[in-house]
Amino acid sequence: MNCAHDVKDSGSQSESLESLLSPRRIAVVGVSAADPQSWGHRVVRVLIDGGFDGDVHVVHPKTDFPGVPTVRAIADIPNPELVVICVPAERAIGVVSEARSAGAKAVIVFASEFAEAGAEGAALQDRLVEAAGGMAMLGPNCFGISNRVDDVKLSAAPFLNHTLRGPGEVALVAQSGALGLVLSRCVEEAGSGYSYFVSVGNEATLGATEIARHLVERDEVNVVLLYIEALRDPRNLAETATRAAALGKRVVLLNAGRSEAGQRAALSHTAAIVGNDMFLQSLCDDFGIVRIHDDDEVKPVLAALERDWQMPVNPRVCILSNSGGAGAVLADQVEAAGGRVVALADETRRKVAEIGMIGAGDTNPIDIGGGWEATLDLFKPTLDTLIAADEVDALIVYIAFGEMCADQVVPIAQYCSDSNKPVTFIWQIAPAAGLAQVETPGILATSMGEGVRMLGAQMKLSAPRSATWRDLAQTNLVLPDLVGGQKTLAEYESSQLLGQHGMRFVPCEFGKVDALEDLTARVATQGWDLLVVKGNAHDVPHRNRVGLVRVGVTPAELPGTLAEMAKTLNDHSKDPARGLLVQPMVSFDAEIGVGALRDPLYGPVVVIGPGGVGIEEASGARDALLLNTDSANWDAYAARVEARHGLAPGALRPVIEGIAFVMGSDDIAEIDVNPMVRGEEGGLVALDSLIVVNRN
């Protein structure tokens, strides 16, 4: 069983996590006193060298560990709190059981060869979980913890004692031990300190999100940085972010596997065009989680969070440079990254001119001009004016060289760091001694490319949305009778079901293949000028491919078209309820595709994007809505998508509600409504639909 249990940070669970992360009585099992390179020996040395001043016992059946109290069994230790297990996988199960019998509240299991090694290892991990019972267990296959607040460092990595900065406001939780250690150094190099590092490994009973949920409550933590390779509990992550927001804190997420989401094979268009990465991005956006994509983004994001820097979407960026060429290149790069380099207001230019620093160009980018070294004393008032300007959301300051005046440039970098708006300070071909003096590396770049990437990372820090996780209400649907093996509801049955719950469909008349005269007569009473004729059968979902869709049919042509299509349908379908649909042709100026599916992790999700025959193409923006969120989040989503597609305000809410009601039934797996077209005054009408049912 390679999954984290669904545990909450309350009561005994919180107490167990305290014993795991802040223990005062620690037992280490599997220590070789004679082999300094063995895992257990290194764990004891890292703990002691790291300054731990609580009670430590080594457990060994024969040999004492020099300088550390040694006992022969865990049971010989009075009230053990945390047991750290440094033995191979098979033996670890028995040691976990011993720890539980001795009354330990938590264990750390370092051993690998569990679920990550395949089916046999997964079975071994199941036994490990059973042995742990209700104890908090970190691992297996983990790299341990570092609690720098209480000097509890339990890992075989001496690196944890080689720190650059004291404990800071960042807590780091990682599914990868080695990369987690790399990120801990990134945090320090960003100018921040980290207070906690936790490697969760296989998450047999405790996952990264459970640890994060606990750490966000600690006063010394202001930012939780998560590295996740496989998110197993979206709800817990969402609720962690919600709690962080309530406390004025933030969650930052780096995840791997984005390229593997890809396309999933399924009957409906919706499942074919989306992957979990879109859903994760939606969760991050809705719950205010800052999502980063590599280690380079750690520095600028932490710097911005520390300073409470935020930018609007497509921010207006002012560039102040001592090189006209660099300013031009930076302008191109900023706009490619999503920013805007707009001309400064006349009033701002007047104020800058009065200061007297600018010698070449004062529009934007601003070229300081030659002899800039002689005007360094005017940098601060110039910066103050630009930062105060209403038309400036963020600033890039670029300086090349400076070996003759490094001592004057360094204070300017420090000054930029204290700004109330985002500032990126690029110092290219800088003297090494000057760079070493800058005490706020979170805003410092040494190339134009690095500086713009830093700005791009900070663009993610717009004011966070704050959704609430709320499970979608369950509904009871009455479905049409299904025949053996039936997986879909055809268009007529799907539109009838969705139409009952608020979705608007184009009018239609339906008739079975043996009642075509009656169908023709009913269509004649409608007065439709041009017609669309379609086959309707659950076992022919792709009707265009077999000639079961005709458009532009006149009333006079209808009888012959129906007869011909009925024969084609009979050749391709065994559906006893098969028939033909006739609809009026509808004029429209835009179309979208609306889909929904039931994701095993995220639950029911709505996806809206470009519609029509090109829905499966990768082009075009798509927006996902997790239906396990509150009504206000649905409204915000609807407003964003309406604006993107030029729809009338309020047009999408009934669509979302109708789909949500139907998806509230466990009998429904997927919904595909394509296209929905924009009619008069921006309203929406559905022209086609398909529902995939669960046949478990």
Mean pLDDT by 10 residues, the chain (696 residues): 39 83 97 94 97 97 95 95 97 98 97 94 97 96 96 95 94 93 93 95 95 97 95 94 95 78 34 65 95 94 94 95 96 97 96 89 89 92 97 97 93 95 96 91 93 95 85 94 91 96 95 96 97 97 93 97 97 96 92 94 94 60 94 96 93 96 96 90 90 86
For CA atoms 537, 539, 542, 545, the dihedral sign is negative
Please list, residue by residue across 599-615, b when 16 or more beta carbons sit within 10 angstroms of its beta carbon and e when fewer do: beebbbbbbbbbbeeeb
The continuous run of DSSP H or E covering 321 comes out as: strand 317-321
Count of positions (residues) in the chain: 696
Domain with CATH 3.40.50.261 in the chain: 314-422
Domain with CATH 3.30.470.20 in the chain: 468-506+586-696
In this prediction, residue 272 carries a pLDDT of: 38
Burial class (CB within 10 angstroms; exposed 0-12, middle 13-18, buried 19+) of 492: buried
In this prediction, residue 489 carries a pLDDT of: 96
| CATH architecture for residues 468-506+586-696 | 2-Layer Sandwich (3.30)
In this prediction, residue 264 carries a pLDDT of: 34
Domain with CATH 3.40.50.720 in the chain: 11-305
CATH of 507-584, one of 3.30.1490.20, 3.40.50.300, 1.10.10.10, 3.40.50.720: 3.30.1490.20
Distance CA 130, CA 628 (A): 32
In this prediction, residue 620 carries a pLDDT of: 64
Distance CA 551, CA 533 (A): 7
How, if at all, do strands 82-85 and 623-626 pair? unpaired
Distance CA 105, CA 144 (A): 16
Domain with CATH 3.30.1490.20 in the chain: 507-584
Q: Give the tokens for residue 184.
A: 């801990």
Distance CA 215, CA 236 (A): 13
Of 625, 543, 616, 631, the C-alpha closest to 579 is 543
| CATH architecture for residues 11-305 | 3-Layer(aba) Sandwich (3.40)
Distance CA 478, CA 500 (A): 11
* CATH code of the domain occupying 314-422: 3.40.50.261
Q: Give the tokens for residue 360.
A: 């070449």
In this prediction, residue 442 carries a pLDDT of: 85
Distance CA 282, CA 336 (A): 23
